[in-house]
Each structure stands twice: as structure tokens, then as C-alpha cells.
Amino acid sequence: MPYQAPTGTADLLPEQAWRWDAIQRQAASVFSRYGYQLIDTPIFEQLDVFVRGIGEATDVVGKEMYLAFSQHAVEAIAAGQAPKAKDTLALRPEQTAGVARAVVQHNLVPPGGAAIKLWYAGSMFRHERPQKGRLREFHQIGTECLGAAEPSADAEVILMLMDFFEGLGIPRASMRLLVNSMGDDACRPAYRQVVREFILAHADGLCPECVRRADSNPLRAFDCKNPDCQAVLAAAPLITDSLCPQCAEHYATVRQLLTEAGCDFEQAPRLVRGLDYYTRTVFEVQVTDGLGSQNAIGGGGRYDKLLAEFGGKPTPGLGFAVGFERICLALDAAGVAAPVLPLPEVFVAAVDTQARAAAFALAGQLRSAGLRAELDHQNRSLKSQLKAADKSGASWVAILGPDELAAGQLTLRHLASHEEQRTTTQQAIELIRGER
């Protein structure tokens, strides 16, 4: 095989592509009930958008970005010229930064205006070590709500996420909803300092990566998968003990609203989202079987400082992203079948060469009537066409030969019952529709 899809990518063959489409349709249906509208932003942005929006100290920006240069920019670099910032592009590793950039650019949340609710779906790119449920090109669906500071917005987003997952068929009992508050500018800096000191004081028992993070991004140490680090960090001070009164109250209201809505959750005081922009509420949904270590199927939180990073007015925001590939693993583990590909309803067969043009025209009429119609383009014999009809999954075959053409009719055969009848095109359309 001369060429293979790049490492860490996967072709979405029709069955998988159809599942991706079905999940997006489910997202559109659930999210619209909560007032969300679809947005699409470019697959690449200026690198700075991600550096600002995600943070230089994150793995995503520091280690996992795919840069994208035009041929023109490459030639300039080769000639020793530094590329301009606007020519230094990167493939998006997530879409929140792009959406935030678009919201500021188009002034979608004017001061004093209503909150805006947006959702997106598409490919994201991160240069990670590929494994089950972790790819370099993967697909996310996400939502962003901008302009709403109240804790009811946080609770609503979390309930919508659970609604979405349950609607897909992931059993509620196999999902764990983890929530935490990461504080804000008033209380997080002091907590970061406390964790930094804790890491430095326990450096002997921690991996070099965690120690390195002490200065750049100490809270990320909680994400370390190394069991020795986890054991040491289990004794670290908790953010929930350091929240300022405003953050504590906000978090308490989110929990109260979730409880009142009958939504089970666990408080996870060591849950920190990897991206720098989160403030206050963070959450993650994990599934308890089928995914191994990559068990997070979605997560998100509040990011009240992000829009200001892009030159907008300070505007509260919150959202989540869910990963399509991991949702598929969770659905497979739950025994939820992938949606069946749309099969042809009727196969048009020509008895001889003379009838081919009429068969072609008939397929056109059936399609115009809204039916899924298929026909042979490989000059096969009638026998082979009938075999192909059977294989295609169609329920009906419309047969055209000299007799039918002379009578201005067709023979409609029902494949399951083998019953046959002579009909007009209109009668055939009604019969086929009747069986849907």
C-alpha cells in the first residue's frame, strides 16, 4: 500500500461518517432546545489565537500544535525572513479560542446585550501519542455560552451535556459527572502558590514533569497519570478550601441547582482542566467501562477571562467539548448499535440495452419523488442486476423491458415476498412510500 492515512488519524468510512453525522444531528436537536445556534470557524487560525486563548504553559500549545505555513511563508523563512504573525498559522487543537475570537471580531455580545449560545462540530488536531481513544486528528462537538455569569448558566450547561449523552444512549449509570470550582483571579493565584510550594516540598516523590510544572502551571500536576505522583498529590491542599466567598457561593449554587434537577454528580476537588482559561466551575464526564485510561468523554467549564484576552470587553463564558471517537467507544461498550446507513428503497433494472435509457429516466423520476433509487452503471445482465438489487438492501425492484415500455408501465417486484405487479410510475411511488 503506497500511502496510508497519517499516524494518529482515521478515515471516517461511510458507517463511521454516518455515525458522526447522526451524533451531530442529536447535538443540533438537544442544543436547540436550550437556545444554541450552530457556528463554524476556520480550521486554522493565527497561532497567537491559540497561544493567547489556551495559554503558552499548556501541553496543547507548548507541545502539541500543528503549525501551518503557506508555500509563500516557507519560502520567506528559507530566505531567512521571520514569518509575519498573520502568516504563522496553526491547525486548531480545540475550538473555544476560535469561537471567542469570532465573537469579539463580530461583536456578537455587545455590552448590555443578551447572552449568546453557540455550538460547533469539527476536526481538531493535537500532536499526541496515539492510543485507543486518543488521536492526532479527532472530532469534537462543543458549546459556548457567552455573556452569562450566573451559576444557573453553569447548571444549565451541565444538564444539557448529560441530556445529550443520555439521548445518544449512553446509560446514566455508566457515567460519572465530576464537578469542581477552580476559583477566579481573587483566589486562584494564592492557591497556585500553595500548590507550587507543596510540589517543591515534595519534589523527591514526584516525576520531573510535575516538578517542572511547579513554576509554569502547578495545578496541571493534578492531571499527572503517574500513580506515585497521584499518591503524593492526594495530600496536597484542596482548591475548595481556598475559594473566596464569591466563588464558594457560585459553586454552592451550581451544586444546589444540579441536585434540585435530580442530576447526580461527584465533587472532584482535584479536577483541573488542562487549559489555562478556566475560572470557577469545571466539569468532566467519565465513563466507567470501555475506554481504559482515556475515559473522559467530555468536559468543560467557565472561562470568564477569555474574551478580554482577544480584546473584547470582559465577558463571562462557559462551555464544553465532547470527543466523537470516545463517544463511539462508550456507545459500543453500552451495546448501542451504529445507525444503519440509508439504503436504496428501490432498484431500477433494465431487461435489455434498449430499456436502459428508460430505466435511467425512471430512476430520476423516483428520486424527484423523494425516494432513494439506485440502478446499474456496469452494463450488467438482468440476472446480475437483480442480484445487485438484493445486495443493495432495496426492498423493491422496478423492472423495465420491451413489454413494460410498450404499455407505458413497469413491473414492480417486492423482494421479500417475491410478489410482482404491473404499475404506472405513480402507483409504484405510492406503493414504495406506503412501505416506509
138 belongs to the binding site for ligand AMP (CB under 6 A): yes
Identity of the amino acid at 239? I
298, 320 Cβ separation under 8 angstroms: yes
Q: Cα(279)–Cα(272) distance, rounded to whole angstroms?
A: 10
Q: Does 65 bind ligand AMP (CB under 6 A)?
A: no
Query: What gap in Å lies between CA 277 and CA 299, rounded to an integer?
Result: 14
Nearer to ligand AMP, 133 or 344 (CB): 133
The residue (of 83 and 130) whose beta carbon lies closer to ligand AMP is 130
Of the pair 98, 299, the CB lying nearest ligand AMP is at 299
Q: Which is nearer to ligand AMP, 298 or 312 (CB)?
A: 298
CB of 130 to ligand AMP, least distance (A): 8
Kindly tell me which residue out of 48, 128, 150, 163 binds ligand AMP, with binding defined by CB under 6 A: 128
Q: Does the protein bind ligand AMP through residue 140 (CB under 6 A)?
A: yes
Q: How far is the CB of 333 from ligand AMP (least distance, A)?
A: 14
Q: In the complex with ligand AMP, which residue's Cβ is closer, 125 or 310?
A: 125
Residues in 256-285 that interact with ligand AMP by CB under 6 A: 274
Question: Does residue 22 bind ligand AMP (CB under 6 A)?
Answer: no
Report residue 336: phi and psi, to 5°.
-85, 120
Q: To the nearest whole angstrom, how small is the minimum distance from the Cβ of residue 288 to ligand AMP?
A: 15
Residue 331 within binding range of ligand AMP, rule CB under 6 A: no
Q: Which of residues 281-320 bind ligand AMP (CB under 6 A)?
A: 296-299
Of 284, 294, 291, 285, nearest to 333 by C-alpha is 291
Residue in 326, 237, 220, 329 with CA at minimum distance from that of residue 282: 220
Cell of 338: 451504529
Among 127, 134, 192, 422, binds ligand AMP (CB under 6 A): 134
H helix runs in 66-218, sequence order: 71-78, 96-105, 151-168, 188-201, 208-216
Judged on CB neighbours under 10 Å (0-12, 13-18, 19+), 12 is middle
Number of residues that bind ligand AMP (CB under 6 A): 18
- Of 55, 319, 323, 344, which one interacts with ligand AMP (CB under 6 A)? 323
For 371-434, list the strands marked E by DSSP: 373-375, 396-400, 410-414, 420-423
Of all residues in this chain, which one has the CB nearest to ligand AMP in the complex? 323
The DSSP element (H or E) to which 301 belongs, if any, is: strand 296-302
Closer to ligand AMP by Cβ: residue 132 or 387 = 132
Which residue's CB is nearer to ligand AMP, number 73 or number 121? Answer: 121
Closer residue to ligand AMP (CB): 95 or 395: 95
Of residues 304, 325, 374, 404, which one binds ligand AMP by CB under 6 A? 325
Residues within the interface to ligand AMP (CB under 6 A): 94, 126, 128, 133-135, 138, 140, 274, 296-299, 321-323, 325-326
